[in-house]
Amino acid sequence: MDKNTIIGLLLIVALLIGYSIWNSPSKEEKEAQQRAKDSLQRETIAKQVEDSLAKLQTEIMDTVKAEKQNKKQETVDNQTVAKNQFGSFATSASQQNVAPILVENDLYRLQINPKGAQIERVELKNVKTWDKQPLVLLNPEDDHKFGFSFYTDYLSLHTSDLHFSLVNDIAEGDTLSVQGADSLQVVLRLYPNLEDGSLDTAAYIEYVYIVRGDDYRTALKINFVNTSQYLNRNQHEYELTWLTTLHQQEKNRKTEMQATNIYYSDIEDVENLKESADAGDSVSYTTRVKWVSFKQMFFTSTLIADNYFDNGTFVTAMPKGNKTADCLKDLKARLTLSITENQPSFGLNFYFGPNKYNLLKKYDIGLENQIFLGRSIIAWINKFAIIPIFNFFEGFGWHYGLIILILTIIIKLVLFPLTAKSYKSSARMRVVKPQVDEISKRYPKQEDAMKKQQAIMGLYRQLGIKPMGGCLPMLLQFPILVAMFRFFPAAYELRQQSFLWADDLSTYDAIVSWNQHIPIISSFYGNHISLFTLLMTIATLFYTILNNKMMSAGGNEQQMKIMKWMMYLMPIMFLGIFNNYAAGLSYYYLLVNLITFVQMGVFRLTINEDKLRRQMETYKAKPVKKSKWQERMDKMMKAQQERAKANASANSRNALPPTKQRSNTSLQNKKKR
């Protein structure tokens, strides 16, 4: 490449560079171009956003339209299903769930759900569970159900599946309260629907709840108003179903489980299902029923008819499924209501409250008889003696530990004449023991046992000693001991009442507890140590030792060995039995033993055995007149002796050789001739 060519190329490049510099925009022009470019870009983005929003809005409108159409179709389908399933009550069945009504009086809080118009929750005020939680008798979280079944022309319906309407200006979720002697009404009505789906408010099934301010009872009136055109005209009996699950309220689950049961009555008799804690039970009661009660240890839920239920079926079952550990039993009652055109109403009362004897008794329908206080004479002692005395001192507001002490002293004073007679009889037996020992020495052989017994009984008659004189007073005291055994575990008044180290006299007073299962010990004794029971057992052992010394000093020691062994075994058995019982019961038996020790000391000081011996010797000089019982005993002993002699003679003849037997027979024949 020559010089001119190179210069030419350079000039061309310089011209191009100069032209581009000459034609490049200024700073202001660049800024204007950038603004125009940004504006165009914003317009493009805005257009895209507008198009996207329009598209999204169209999609939303289409979706809403489709949902409305689907919902409308679903509503039509549901209405069709409801109409097929619930007939004239389809509108009530398709209503949405509403908030329950809360009603509170001086004693409890009720929760009434418009669905089924049923009381679904009951919480008692002023009381707590053993672990200080609210005490709830009925809970909507359980399989709770209350209502009755009825028939339309072609359907079977149940009130618990239908929604009732609130009336009298009461709205869903309202909280109502009543106090003192006042009362309030909660009215709910189940309306049928017309062909167009609207409610026929001129016809209804009505529930009228009446809550009193200071009463554990809640009344329920069931009314049928103008329902004949909607219900089966041939139905005059309606099956009422009431079922629920009861939960643990007390510390001792095992004891409360055994006490949880169904009781029912026709007033004349109060009956209950079997109290097995491991199995369910059912019974059909074919005659009229006045009330049925879902009873726990200290609280109960009872359904009472103003007149009577026609019959009933009652079922208990152990909880199944995903239920909490504190569930005790599932209880169910089916009862028959009679409703006719002439009597289109049925009256009921619920009782939600404590198992307090005097409280239940005032209703005068036998509710108090579901508190088990023993049978026959045991129950009479509790009802007519122990409970009145206990309630009398309770009226002074005294501490329950002091009341039990006073009650024990009164019982011991009442029994004092019998105790004194028993001790005096034991003293006489001690005085006469040397003479009894002499008789025993005269008849050492076993075959002479009958003679020895006759001689001892003859000695007793001569000295005026009645062998049963010491046992009979003890037997007469036994019903009172059993009555107290029934009274204390059932006494609601002792619930959560503390005394000394015991924080609840109605259950065991554990000073030491453990969770680990120990073979035999945990099964027989439990996983705790009850101090009152331990002290009672120690006191009983001391009493047994002293009593055995007295018995051995007053009678035939050989004959008393088995009885002594049993008397030592009993306190050990009490230790295992009473360890899980009410602390108030063990405290009472401890007081009985301590007072008995004092009485024994007083008797020991006041009874002069030398004087008693002289009195018996004086009695010995008097002619003895046998009683008819003694005469019969003497005849029986003589007959036994004659039979024994005859058997001995027959045995001796059978033991002789044949020749000797023949010679004896010939001699006897010669004597006869």
pLDDT at residue 76 is higher than 70: no
Secondary structure class of 326 (helix, strand, coil): coil
The span from the CA of 602 to the CA of 623, in Å, is: 34
Helices (H) and strands (E) in the chain, counts: 19, 22
Q: What local confidence, expressed as pLDDT, does residue 30 receive? A: 64
Give CA 61 to chain center in angstroms.
61
pLDDT tens digits, 339-380: 888 888 999 999 999 999 999 999 999 999 999 998 889 999
> Does the global pTM surpass 0.85?
no
- Distance, in Å, from the CA atom of 481 to the CA atom of 487, rounded to the nearest integer, reads 10
Quick check: 377 and 481 in contact, CB under 8 A?
A: no
As a whole number of angstroms, the distance between CA 135 and CA 117 comes to 23
Res 671: pLDDT: 46
**CA–CA separation, 439 vs 643, rounded Å?**
23
- Output the pLDDT for position 466: 64
174/184 Cα distance (integer angstroms): 13
CA torsion 624-627-633-639 (nearest 10°) is 80
Q: Are 301 and 114 in contact (CB under 8 A)?
A: no
Q: Can you point out the beta strands (E) in 213-298?
A: 217-225, 237-247, 261-265, 270-272, 281-285, 289-295
Gyration radius from the chain CA atoms:
46
DSSP secondary structure letters along 385-426: IIHHHHHHHHTTT--HHHHHHHHHHHHHHHTHHHHHHHHHHH
Q: How far is CA 146 from CA 140, 273, 343, 401, in A?
A: 11, 21, 22, 42
Alpha-carbon gap, residue 624 to 465, rounded angstroms: 12
Q: Determine the average pLDDT of the residues in 108-125.
A: 94
Q: How confident is the model at residue 660 (pLDDT cuts 50, 70, 90)?
A: very low
Residue 673: what pLDDT?
44
Q: Of 88-97, 350-359, 434-443, 624-633, which gets the smallest average pLDDT?
A: 624-633
Q: Are 446 and 342 contacting, i.e. CB atoms less than 8 angstroms apart?
A: no
Nearest-angstrom CA–CA distance, 553 and 533: 30
H/E stretch holding 208 reads strand 204-212
Does the structure show a pLDDT above 60 at 75? Answer: no
